[in-house]
Amino acid sequence: MRVSFVKVAEYQRRGVVHYHTLIRLDPTDVKSAPPVSAIDLASLVRQAADQVRLIVTTDNPADTTVTISPHGGTRVLRFGTQIDTQPIIATGDSTKPGVARRVAAYLAKYTTKSVAEFGIAARRISPGAIGELDIPAHTRRILCTVVKLAALPGYAAMLDWLHTLGYRGHITTKSRRYSVTMAALRAARHRWRQCRGDNLEHSRYQCDSLAGQAHPSIAEELSDWRINGTGLRNDGERLLVYTAALRSRECRYLACLASAENTEASPAIRADLRPRLSNPESGYKCFERRQEVER
């Protein structure tokens, strides 16, 4: 038997990464042994998860979570006790979806979850921006914990993954034989591009000649790049750019003002925003900011 799998990382509501794995046994060309049932496979998965151990050595003396030995600090990585195995088998009921659709729905359910549910954008953030994020207190504590761990020797790279709550792995991971590969998808897209053309007869001839080639041995793509323009082309584009810049500037200022008020910072800053007419001809309005500092 050949083992194939696909793993999906799910962000739970508490902010902890939870793994969902679909494991499949594929028959080999040699039929020397009877097939393994889904119940036996589930039992083998639980047994393997309980026995797998990964020992990691560390040279960080400030890490109190490791066991100190004469050869240095070690940490044992293993699976937790919350392991649930359920077989996915055909029900025989025509009114219910088949195994393939159930597997697709199962994977789609967890791959659509992301850190956006915690109020974090899918881009890197700095430790100084944690206090300005509109996120729950629990998520903020997780980010602060990641920053504290990154201060330890050997963990500075965790700061690059604040936007994923410290998790740097892939959302999905699969074995090569589980499903279609990326190379096969690229080859299919390449054939589709070659089959598109103004001449239908020529396109049919290319499709017929390339139908049996899963991976074309010779592929040539010619690209011609030409400059289309730089800068802003008209007053309308300038208006949009200036409006977006002013809106972004005001949002940052108001966020800093709210942060200062929440932390009771001194001196306090008050803003007086008065609309003024910047360009009478275009009727474009912006805001003039006046800041007063109380001491």
Return the CA Rg of the chain. Answer: 29
Largest CA distance in the chain: 87
**What average pLDDT does the segment 21-49 reach?**
80
Q: In Å, how far are 11, 70, 73, 207 from 57, measured between CA atoms?
A: 28, 12, 6, 56
Would you mind telling me the total number of residues written for the chain in this entry?
Answer: 295
**What average pLDDT does the segment 139-145 reach?**
91
List the beta bridge partners of residue 275: 287
Cα 75 to the center of its chain, rounded Å: 27
pLDDT, one tens digit per residue, over 211-223 is 555 545 445 556 6
Q: Using CA atoms, how far apart are residues 176 and 178, in angstroms rounded to an integer? A: 6
Predicted structure pTM score: 0.53
pLDDT, one tens digit per residue, over 67-124 is 544 445 678 888 888 888 888 776 666 556 677 788 888 788 877 777 777 778 778 8
Per-residue pLDDT band at 247 (split at 50, 70, 90): very high
